[in-house]
Structure formats: structure tokens, C-alpha cells
Amino acid sequence: MSQEPKVYLVGAGPGDPDLLTVKAMRLITAEADVVVYDRLVSEDIMDFVPPGIARIFVGKASNRHTLPQDEINELIVRLAKSGRTVVRLKGGDPYIFGRGGEEAEYLLANDVSFEVVPGITAGSGCAAYSGIPLTHRGLATGVRYVTGHCQAGVDLDLNWDSLADPDTTLVVYMGLTHLPQISEKLIAAGLPAGTPAAAIANGTTRDQQQCISTLAELPQRARDIGLRAPVMVIIGRVVEMAQVLAPPCESGVEEINRERLGAD
């Protein structure tokens, strides 16, 4: 065991184990005494953890938490102060909707040494595996990441007027539950109803499924075909590039619905 308390906040990427960074792989396979992992860390990635290394699952789903965040914070501090090297393994990137910043603050407040190991964020991975460049000359000059998650019974508190920019790609994490509201609010704020939009479930994994439609039609299409979380929603003209750049079917990506995209 390590004598110096140390926590690594490690991004595991969006699911495909081949997208792990070299550093993440080294920490998982050769340095960790204990791995504390989230729900969105794929089984294929957890298979790299050597036998005999402790694994602690702290996954959270909507309204269903194995441990509340404050207890996760306390757990990783307690483990580190016992002299173990702790790999805190998170889906995607720790600092993009991963609450890595909160955990880093808690470690700092408790005098525990830590290091952040970035990972490929789910928005980037899901888009690439679906043939969608998040920026593309003539289609999008920028990209914005927002969360579609909020407490039960509470409307999303987003600046819809700002988000309804036809020159920007909008990437919505955890957007499935509130997809009808997202569609309605963006259209009301002026984004054309015919704007191309995609919903991607289990992105970059062997179970990836995607539905490509328009902003107005995507909520109903996603419901009709039974998409289930985790789902990434991508809205913007760049989505039409999936018709050209999508990987071949043999890649393992299953396209379960595609609407013909027309001009608004």
C-alpha cells in the first residue's frame, strides 16, 4: 500500500475501453489499491481492475443513489487516509458534469493529495461514434455543453434564448427525461423546429443506439423506439453530417431510427 494518502480523480471516458488514456489504464491496472467507481463506468473497463484490488460501487441514477455525494466525499478521504492509493473512476471526464470539482474541493479541505486525470467526455465520444462533428465549417462555429438533469418536479432552469443559437451545436447530457421540454423551449426561443437533432443511447459501447430526427420530432421518436438512459442529445445543423460520416453498420453501432432531414 502507498504510505502517502493519494486520490486520483480519473476520467474513464464514455464507455469504449479503447478510449481510456494511457495514464488511466496504468493507474487502474498497476497502481490502485482501491477503485471507487460510478454507474457509467463500463463493465469492459472494470474488467481491467486486477483481481484482489478492492472495488467500491457508488453509482447514482435519477432519484436513486447508492451513496449521496457527501458520503462519497467522506469515503474517498477515509480510504486515502488509511494509506491506500485511491482511483476515483468516473465516466467521461471528471470535470464535465462529473462532480469532480466538488470531490477535489473536499480532498483539498481535508489535506488529501489528489491528481485529476482527464478523460474523453461523453458528448465528444458519442458525437464522434455517430458521425457528428461538433463543429464544422459552415454549420457550427461553437459548441455548448449543458445538463438536462434537474430535481424531480422542477423545470430545467436554462437560458433558452441564449441556447437557441443556430450557429452553435448544443450537447445535452442526461437529457432524455426532459427531452420534450427541451424541444418545446428551444423552439419557443426561436430555434427552427426542423433543426437536425440526435439522441444517442449507450454511446461508444457495443450497445450504442441512435435516433436522428428533427428538434420537433425527436422527443416522440425517442419515446416510440424506447430509448433508455444514458442518452446524449445533440442539437444543431452538424447532426446532418451523420448521413455522410456515420460509421458502417459493422462497427457495432445500431441505428434504430433515422428521419429524413429536410430544410425548415
Report d(CA 134, CA 218) in Å as an integer. Answer: 18
Cα angle, residue 242 at apex, residues 240 and 248 outer, rounded to 5°:
155
C-alpha distance from residue 8 to each of 59, 72, 88 (Å)? 17, 14, 6
Instruction: End-to-end CA distance of the chain: give it in Å, rounded.
Output: 61
Residue 38 among the catalytic residues: yes
Report d(CA 137, CA 59) in Å as an integer. Answer: 39
Closest CA to 10 of 106, 86, 62: 86
Evaluate whether 4 touches 115 at the Cβ level (below 8 Å).
Answer: no
The catalytic position among 6, 16, 33, 38 is: 38
CA dihedral 203, 197, 178, 141 (to 10 degrees): 90
Give DSSP secondary structure letters for 63-81: TEESS-HHHHHHHHHHHHH
Report d(CA 96, CA 117) in Å as an integer. Answer: 12
Evaluate whether 233 touches 176 at the Cβ level (below 8 Å).
Answer: yes
The catalytic position among 23, 44, 60, 207 is: 60
Residue 81 among the catalytic residues: no
> Nine-digit cell at 31?
497502481
Active site residues: 38, 60
